[in-house]
Amino acid sequence: MTFIHDISPTLLSFGGLEIRWYGLLFAVGIMLTYFFIRWVFQKQKYPLDKLDSVVLFLFFGLVIGARLGHVFFYEWDYFSAQPLEILKIWNGGLASHGAAIGLFVAYFAWCKINKVKFSQYIDALVLGMPITAGFVRLGNFFNSEILGNLTGSDYGVIFERVGETLPRHPVQLYSAFMNFLVFAILFVVYKKSFKKMPRMFFLFLYVLLYFVGRFVVEFWKDLQGPIESLPIQMGQLLSIFPVLIALGYFIFIYPKQKKS
C-alpha cells in the first residue's frame, strides 16, 4: 500500500518559534548517544570528567563537519550563491561523510589539548555514533529530503509536500534502519568481547559496517551530488576510501594484534 507523505516538517509553532521534526529528532539522537556513551564510560571505569569535555568538542565537530560536508559535496552551487543559508541547519542538510571528518578533527584536537592518546577513548565513543545517525535519517524523512528512486512496489512513499506524484523508495528509513542495525551489531560485540579486543578495533569495525551499509543503501537513492556522469552516487564514491582503510586494518593489522 503506497503511503502519501504529507506530514508537515514543523511539529509545533507558537509565535515566531517553530519546533521542527528534524531538529527534535537530531536532539533526541544526540541525547541518547550521550547517555549511552556515559554508560559505556562507567562500565569501563573511564573518568566521567573527560566525557563532558570530549562530547562538547565532538558535538561542534559533528555539526560543523556535517553541514560543510553537505555544502561542498552535494549543493555547492546553491550555497555558494546564498552563503547565509549555510547557517540554517534546522532546515536539514547534513552529510555523514562530512560528519566523519568533523568528528575526527574534533577528537584529534581534544586529544592534543588534553594530552590523551587518540586510541584511549575512541572505541567507547564510536559505539554510540549510529544512534545519532539513525535519528538524523528519520529527520530527513519528516523533511521530505534525500529521496529514493521511483518504485512500483506497494511500500513506496509519495512525498506530496515537495511536489512528488509517484511513489519512491523511503530510502531515509532504509538508512535509519541500517544505522540502528550497525548499532545493534556493535553493542552485541561490545557486550561479548570489549576487553578482549585491541584498541581501535571498534573504530574500524564501525567504519567498515557503516560505510558498507551506506554504499548499499545508496543504490535506492535518487541521484544526489555533482557527478551525474559517473555510474555511482557521490555517497558511494566517498564511502570507498574509508571501507578500504577499515579492510586494510582487519587484513594486515588486526591479525598481528590478536597474536600479540
**Which positions ≥6 away from 158 have C-beta within 8 Å?**
2, 3, 4, 5, 164, 165, 166, 167, 168
Q: For residues 94 and 67, is the Cβ–Cβ distance under 8 A?
A: yes
Q: Tell me, yes or no, if the pTM score tops 0.95.
A: no
Residue where the block lists cell 555558494 = 80
Q: Which CA distances in Å does 242 have to 55, 80, 238, 258?
A: 23, 28, 8, 22
Q: Given this model, what pLDDT does residue 77 score?
A: 84
**Which positions ≥6 away from 125 have C-beta within 8 Å?**
37, 54, 58, 107
pLDDT digits (tens, 9 = 90+) for 87-117: 887 666 788 889 999 999 999 999 999 999 9
What cell does 26 get? 537530531
pLDDT digits (tens, 9 = 90+) for 153-202: 888 999 999 999 999 999 999 999 999 999 999 999 999 998 899 999 99
